[in-house]
Chains A and B, each alone.
Chain A
């Protein structure tokens, strides 16, 4: 079918020559016929190619129509009345067809209301008014449609036609420019070139029509230049198709690169190169979370102002390419890249999912630790405000009772005994409360709290706290536990003769370091409490490291981000 169309195009081109040479009213048959075919042939052929490549697009058929429309207009060169009349009827049609083609690029449809109105007006002026003109006797004597002989009226109609079409051509230029601006980044040079050639074509059509209506002497020259210009557009279009074809060879490169097992983080760059879109990004679909995510597992939303191409594997959605809208003009390329991407993206998706899970896990660990911390704090507070206060008040009451009792030594001794018991209970409660939550840390900060730890340490300790202001309470509590646990370990295992505690803030980190000069070789995993400390520190996004070479002392270092 398409072959037939192409052949018909060639036949039409040949026929144009025949008609031109046989014509008794064509001044320069060779030049005129050649110029006409310069438009007919490329439009028909480029249209056929476009039709073949993208059967779903209307752009190919439209181009073919423009080519044949041009051919039909050439029939007015004929010496016989019937073809002459047909040719005359289509005299101005090609101008509107070209405007239609330009505005319908690249999808083949007129997208805006303005475009549709403009083209409809154009067809009315070019065909509707043409018939009116011919009925009025314009184009006599061979015009078979001439009913009356109102030449003056026919001329007026013609002027209206020419001015209207000229205005329509000029009005189409801003629409074209707006589309070019909308279509995104200047990535596809041939697309730009094509749109530019459209614009020049429109200008030339407008000039030509005005020249025709004023009967300028240079009309012939302008007509030839216009024809040459209009013929350039399908040539540019063919070049564009060819370059898109060349782009498909980058898919082959992509396949080779994918074969070399790139890491998921390298993938976007590879796709960007294959699709020639440096702005390209990837989003992975995480079915468990029903969300799109980047490689780090952070949720992302697909931007509405960019085009996306879904990538599936065995019917399961894997990822989306987020790219420039202009890439939608090359669906074959997108299809090829998506098909090649499948396996490699599966790895990336797994990585994104893993990271998302880690993130979730980290969050829940943080929440668990924080919840237990808050609960401990609440219990400590309850002890402090409740039992401890009451016991002290009770002990005070007993003392005052004792004073009032006077000289009964047995009763006094009993009261004294009771007070001793209360003092003992208070001591135990204090230990429990402190074990639950070191209130001094949240109340007065790390520097104050560490003084007691250092003073009660099992070995002489040098303490240095370089904090200009307090840091987040959770960090302080964690740091406190790191120090107290490390000191306890020194007492139990290290056989050290001295130790240093250093707390400082640097590079957005709270750094806590405890160094002793003991025997080293501490078991950082088993039972020593270091594992619990590491959990606490890591839940705050920090890390705990322990160096403990045999005979070389032990160094415990916690680093926690503190904003």
Chain B
């Protein structure tokens, strides 16, 4: 797996590079700003870029713009956006077309090394990673007649993990249940929410997020 990291804090950039290196990734580029990142995206065969949403020179949305550009023009490169705050609006912007090969996580997640590495790997392999904060914001949203009320607590847990991009196996591992049980919960949830059961795991992320947003 070939990775590029764009992050203006040297401390964090080196930290992430080291942990990915330890996890067996090949860190081929470490960039301090978005222009440098775009240069590396064009010149190297990358599997995934990890990009801070706030990059020089103006520290406003350079990182996000770079991420959107890579999504649009380099579909074979996965993008994981990191930020010190996670905003629902930004998640919706980033995942507006598809949840494939894309992730958006709070920077704090880096220090949960195992989860973070798993998320990087998942996104690099075409899956998605949505920060749990965003999912919980969506789930706790006030609704006029709440369809989520019909879910059992267990189903809610599965839905939450599903929305963050976890695979069925990931959900099974996390909740310590069988893969078969997870599949049952998933189809029950889709039934109760009236969602068409969809194929890929990242496609169902988008379906769930869209459902939760409305």
| Residues of A participating in the B interface, judged by any CB pair closer than 8 Å | 381, 384-385, 388-390, 392-393, 395-400, 403, 419, 422-423, 426, 430, 433-434, 439-440, 442-444, 447-452, 455-461, 497-498
Contact = CB atoms under 8 A, between A and B. Distances in A.
Contact of A395 (B108, B142, B213): B108
Q: B interface, by DSSP: helix, strand, loop or mixed?
A: helix
Interface string B4-48: 000001011001101100100000000000000000000000000
A434 B85 contact: yes
Nearest to A426: B108
Interface stretch (B56-64, B122-130, B153-161): B56-64
Interface stretch (B71-79, B110-118, B174-182): B110-118
B142 A457 contact: yes
A442 B60 contact: yes
Contacts of B15: 393, 396-397, 400
A523 B26 CA distance: 61
Interface stretch (B87-95, B164-172, B183-191, B192-200): B87-95
A451 B108 contact: no
A76 B171 CA distance: 134
Given A390-B11, A419-B111, 11 more contacts: A392-B108, A393-B12, A395-B111, A423-B108, A439-B54, A444-B61, A444-B64, A444-B93, A452-B87, A457-B142, A460-B143
Contacts of A400: 15, 18-19, 22, 113
Contacts of B61: 443-444
A497 B146 CA distance: 13
B148 interface: no
Contact of A451 (B18, B19, B59, B92): B92
B144 interface: yes
B151 interface: no
B2 interface: no
B86 to A, nearest CB: 9
Contacts of B90: 440, 444, 448
A430 B9 CA distance: 17
A389 B88 contact: no
Contacts of B22: 400, 403
Given A393-B12, A396-B111, A455-B137, A460 B92 contact: no
Nearest to A427: B108
A292 B113 CA distance: 70
Interface residues on B, range: 35 or more
A396 B141 contact: no
Contacts of B84: 384, 388-389, 392, 430, 433
Given A381-B59, A444-B64, A457-B142, A451 B111 contact: no
Interface of B: 9, 11-12, 15-16, 18-19, 22, 53-54, 59-61, 64, 84-85, 87-90, 92-93, 107-108, 110-113, 137-138, 140-144, 213
A396 B107 CA distance: 10
A450 B87 CA distance: 9
Query: Most chain-B Cβ atoms within 10 A of its Cβ — which of A381, A393, A399?
Result: A393
B137 A430 contact: no
Contacts of A444: 60-61, 64, 87, 89-90, 93
A523 B27 CA distance: 59
B42 to A, nearest CB: 25
Nearest to B19: A400
Contacts of A458: 142
Contact of B110 (A392, A403, A460): A392
Given A384-B54, A443-B60, A444-B64, A452 B88 contact: yes
Contacts of B92: 451
Nearest to B64: A444
A211 B18 CA distance: 116
A458 B143 CA distance: 10
